């Protein structure tokens, strides 16, 4: 089995890139691959807990919790999150908070790395 690291750069609402990234992560984890997710730029928006699932908008909290339960490591760029007004206290439990070197270290041990979305 391989190790896949995914860095989604888009926010949840306004594009389907984040939705795609989370489902890809789930598919890889279901097949037994080790999966890491690095949330940076507008991708950090999905860490907020208490997301309301409205039918017209994508919804990430349920998928994020499922991925964490499957052993997927998810880490958010602390600076990117704080700059957007997101505090640790309001984040989904189990998500790590760190800096960009966490991502580079995961890259070191990855077979494949994917950047998804972003401008």
Binding-site ranges for other proteins (CB under 8 A): 9, 40-41, 99-108, 110, 113, 115, 118-119
Q: How far apart are the first and last CA of the chain?
A: 32
Least separation in angstroms between residue 119's CB and other proteins is: 4
The residue among 62 and 115 lying less far from other proteins, judged by its C-beta, is: 115
User: Which residues, including other chains, have CB under 8 Å from residue 36's CB and lie 6 or more apart?
Assistant: 3, 4, 5, 6, 72, 73, 74, 75, 106, 110
33-45 burial by CB neighbour count: b if 16+ within 10 A, else e? Answer: bbbbbbbbbbbbb
Least separation in angstroms between residue 93's CB and other proteins is: 22
The residue among 59 and 118 lying less far from other proteins, judged by its C-beta, is: 118
The residue among 26 and 84 lying less far from other proteins, judged by its C-beta, is: 84
Least separation in angstroms between residue 76's CB and other proteins is: 14
Least separation in angstroms between residue 5's CB and other proteins is: 9
Sheet harboring 3-8: ordered strands across? 96-98, 73-77, 34-39, 3-8, 112-116
Overall residue count recorded for the chain in this entry: 119
The residue among 82 and 113 lying less far from other proteins, judged by its C-beta, is: 113
């Amino acid at each position: 089995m391989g190790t896949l690291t995914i860095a989604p750069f888009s926010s949840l609402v306004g594009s389907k890139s984040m939705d795609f990234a989370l489902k890809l992560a789930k598919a890889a984890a279901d097949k037994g691959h080790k999966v890491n997710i690095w949330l940076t730029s507008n991708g950090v928006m999905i860490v907020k807990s208490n997301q309301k699932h409205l039918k017209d908008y994508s919804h990430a909290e349920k998928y994020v919790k499922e991925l964490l339960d499957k052993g997927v490591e998810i880490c958010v760029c602390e600076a990117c999150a704080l700059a957007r007004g997101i505090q640790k206290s309001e984040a989904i439990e189990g998500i790590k908070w760190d800096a960009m070197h966490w991502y580079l270290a995961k890259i070191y041990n990855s077979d494949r790395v994917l950047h998804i979305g972003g401008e």
